[in-house]
């Protein structure tokens, strides 16, 4: 098969164009999977199903010419599919499930008492590499490379474990945002029903880094111990990533300018001067970063440094350089929109594919399938007989992502939705026996 409508049929040259996007939506976008996910089991035959559920979800589209369409809603799979194919949005955002169909919200708000309010929404997190510019030297802004990507890996590892072990969530989807960061969707029923206050609480639980250009010291641990979550994050993830990856990949101690920034985190003048003097004679060595880090640790943790402020200084440095920096606002309220997985980023042409948190070390943002590659693969596959009984998506490198999405996220999620549906349905039947009591 050769892609029609392309002036250079057969040879895909650009990274992104409306034409490509149209083909992507036409042949590859996983509508059914998205629909099943967003239905949370309510698209079945069970008497407990809420058939209006999917239709009360807000989608919003950003179109070609920056036209922004909010409060789109679809009563079924076909409606969603047709609308996306027709409008060909550069970006699809997903909002909350509202009390009523968001497209008809005005009809409901008449008469003063508005019943239009969000009732459910995944707990979401958004982490952007742009927020780490003060601790990475390889790239800046929206660029990422394999040297700084471990910062994102650290975030996934720290948060994924905590969301599962501390908060007890099971249905968690990590997604590459297509360019400069990662998104996290926590989809357990309990997570979806959190109030804004509770969401804020979860976000704050993860919030350690206190930004602010003017405060040199952005992290400070004052208690006699660290909270178990922080200890675990430190020993299992942050220290490892700091010492094994970032220390060398970012050359954190290689120049005076760089190690000076670290020394500024030490609140003891004498020690800082001591270290600074030792390092100022420029020694060329392949183990420079490691040597200096060891040296620093040794100085701070040696027996005589029992001073209050220094006790946690090594941890504070590691946290400052590695701990996840969340965009807090995204997580705090149900209303916040977040880009849907499997969108294509218009700047990079890369697809927002899921990331496997158990193998996130292997994730390479620079080799994420891009629109042009996918279309080439489709073209190529079209010529081969062996692909006859395979869906379009599975003919491409996106196939692996979709398989992972289904097996590790969607299917377990739908199974537990079904169980929950059953449970709450039975509970409702039971409840009718309730007696009133003053």
Partner 1 sequence: MEILRSHRKSIGKVDAVVPNLLLYRTAPVLEVRLDEFEIYAIDRLKVLKGISDALSRGKKPEEMEKLVDDLWRMHMRQHASQNTNKDIISHFVLRLVYCRSEELRKWFLSMETTLFRYRFRLESPDSQRILMDEFNLPYKALTHAEHESVKDKLSQVSRSIGSSTNFDSIFFKVHFEEVPELVANRKVFMLQGFAYVAMHQATALVVTQFRSLLSKSLVLTYRKWTSTIREQEKDRLTPIVEALSTDYLGPNYSQPKDNIHITLKDIDHLANTSFPLCMRHLFYKLREDHHLKHGGRMQFGLFLKGVGLSLDDALAFWRDEFSKKVGLDRFEKEYAYGIRHNFGKEGKRIDYTPFSCQRIISSVPSVGNHNGCPYRHFSDENLRAALGKMGVGGRSLDDVMDKVKNHHYQLACTLTFEAIHSSSCDTGINHPNQFFVESQKILQSKNQTAS
Q: Find the part of the chain contacting partner 1 (CB under 8 A) among 109-117, 229-237, 250-258, 265-273.
A: 229-237
200 binds partner 1 (CB under 8 A): yes
Q: How far is the CB of 137 from Zn ion (least distance, A)?
A: 8
Helices (H) and strands (E) in the chain, counts: 18, 9
Residue from 190, 258, 418, 425 touching partner 1 (CB under 8 A): that is 190
Whole-angstrom Cα distance, residue 208 to residue 127? 14
Cα separations (Å) of 270 from 276, 283, 313, 314, 348?
10, 22, 15, 16, 49
The DSSP element (H or E) to which 354 belongs, if any, is strand 354-355
DSSP H/E element including 186: strand 181-186
Stretch that binds Zn ion, among 97-105, 132-140, 224-232, 272-280 (CB under 5 A): 132-140
Is residue 385 near partner 1 by the rule CB under 8 A?
no
Comparing CB distances to Zn ion, the nearer of 136 and 292 is 136
Residue labelled with tokens 């200084």? 313
Tokens of 254: 């290689």
| 226 scored as a contact of partner 1 (CB under 8 A) | yes
The yes or no reply on residue 148 touching Zn ion (CB under 5 A) is: yes
Query: Candidates 197-205, 211-219, 285-293, 340-348 — which segment interacts with partner 1 by CB under 8 A?
Result: 197-205
Q: 59-98: b or e for each residue (b if 16 or more CB lie within 10 Å)?
A: bbbbeeeeeeeebbbbeebeebbebbeebbbbbbbbbbbb
Name the 3-class secondary structure at 145.
Answer: coil
77 binds Zn ion, rule: CB under 5 A: no
> What residues act catalytically?
58, 126, 128
Using CB under 8 A as the binding rule, whether residue 333 contacts partner 1 is answered as no
Is residue 290 part of the contact set for Zn ion (CB under 5 A)?
no
Is the Cβ of residue 165 or residue 244 nearer to partner 1 in the bound state? 165
Binders of partner 1 among residues 96 to 135 (CB under 8 A) are none
Largest CA distance in the chain: 83
HEC profile of 2-33: CCCCCCCCCCCCCCCCHHHHHHHHHHCCCHHH
> Least distance from C-beta 364 to Zn ion, angstroms?
12
Q: 77-87 and 31-39 helices cross at what angle (nearest 10)?
A: 130
Query: CA–CA separation, 115 vs 98, rounded Å?
Result: 9
CB 246 within 8 A of CB 150: yes
Query: In 3D, which of 364, 365, 244, 221 has the Cα closest to residue 293?
Result: 244
- Minimum distance of partner 1 from residue 162's CB (angstroms): 8
CA atoms within 13 A on the CB side of 138: 17
- Which of 6, 15, 99, 147 contacts Zn ion by CB under 5 A? 147
- The only residue of 46, 106, 227, 298 in contact with partner 1, by rule CB under 8 A: 227
- How far is the C-alpha of 154 from the C-alpha of 262, rounded, in Å? 20
- 56 vs 245, beta carbon nearer Zn ion: 245
Q: Residue 225 or 383: which CB sits closer to partner 1?
A: 225
Contacts with partner 1 by CB under 8 A: the residue count is 28
Closer of 49 and 328 to partner 1 (Cβ): 328
DSSP 323: S
194 near partner 1, rule: CB under 8 A? yes
Chosen residue from 45, 112, 225, 281 binding partner 1 by CB under 8 A: 225
Q: Which residues contact 204 (CB under 8 A, 6 or more apart)?
A: 328
* Region near partner 1 per CB under 8 A, out of 27-35, 103-111, 123-131, 159-167: 159-167
Q: From the CB of 436, what's the least distance to partner 1, in Å?
A: 5
Using CB under 8 A as the binding rule, whether residue 231 contacts partner 1 is answered as yes
**Contacts with Zn ion, residue ranges (CB under 5 A):** 138-139, 145, 147-148
Residue ranges that bind partner 1, judged by CB under 8 A? 162, 165-169, 190, 194-195, 197-198, 200-202, 204-205, 223-231, 436-438
């Amino acid at each position: 098969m050769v892609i029609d409508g392309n002036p250079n049929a057969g040879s895909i040259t650009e990274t992104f164009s409306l034409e490509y996007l149209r083909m992507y939506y036409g042949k590859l976008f996983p509508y059914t999977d998205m629909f099943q996910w967003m239905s949370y089991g309510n698209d079945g035959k069970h008497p407990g199903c809420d058939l209006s559920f999917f239709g009360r979800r807000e989608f919003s589209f950003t179109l070609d010419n920056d036209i922004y369409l909010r409060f789109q809603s679809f009563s079924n799979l076909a409606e969603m599919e047709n609308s996306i194919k027709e409008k060909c949005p550069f970006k699809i955002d997903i909002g909350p499930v509202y009390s009523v169909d968001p497209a008809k919200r005005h009809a409901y708000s008449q008469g003063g008492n508005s019943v239009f309010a969000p009732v459910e929404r995944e707990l979401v997190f958004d982490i952007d590499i742009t927020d780490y510019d003060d601790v990475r030297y390889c790239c800046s802004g929206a660029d990422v490379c394999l040297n700084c990507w471990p910062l994102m890996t650290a975030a996934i590892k720290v948060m994924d474990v905590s969301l599962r072990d501390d908060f007890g969530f099971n249905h968690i989807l990590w997604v590459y945002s297509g360019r400069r960061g990662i998104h996290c969707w926590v989809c357990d029923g309990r997570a979806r029903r959190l109030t804004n206050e509770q969401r804020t609480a979860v976000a704050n639980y993860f919030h350690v880094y206190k930004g602010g250009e003017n405060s040199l010291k952005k992290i400070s641990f004052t208690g006699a111990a660290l909270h178990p979550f922080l200890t675990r994050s430190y020993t299992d993830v942050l220290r490892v990533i700091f010492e094994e990856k970032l220390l060398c990949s970012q050359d954190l101690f290689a120049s005076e300018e760089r190690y000076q920034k670290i020394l500024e985190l030490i609140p003891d003048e004498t020690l800082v001067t001591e270290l600074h003097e030792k390092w100022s004679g420029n020694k060329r060595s392949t183990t420079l970063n490691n040597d200096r880090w060891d040296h620093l640790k040794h100085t701070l943790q040696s027996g005589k440094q029992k001073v209050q402020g220094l006790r946690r200084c090594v941890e504070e440095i590691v946290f400052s350089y590695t701990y996840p920096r969340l965009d807090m606002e995204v997580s705090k309220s149900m209303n916040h929109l977040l880009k849907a997985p499997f969108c294509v980023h218009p700047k990079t042409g890369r697809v927002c594919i899921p990331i496997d948190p158990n193998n996130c070390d292997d994730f390479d943002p620079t080799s994420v399938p891009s629109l042009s590659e996918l279309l080439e693969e489709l073209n190529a596959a079209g010529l081969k007989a062996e692909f006859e009984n395979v869906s379009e998506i599975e003919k491409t490198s996106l196939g692996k992502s979709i398989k992972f999405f289904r097996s590790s996220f969607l299917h377990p999620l739908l199974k537990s939705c079904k169980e929950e549906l059953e449970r709450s349905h039975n509970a409702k039947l039971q409840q009718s026996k309730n007696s009133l009591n003053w």
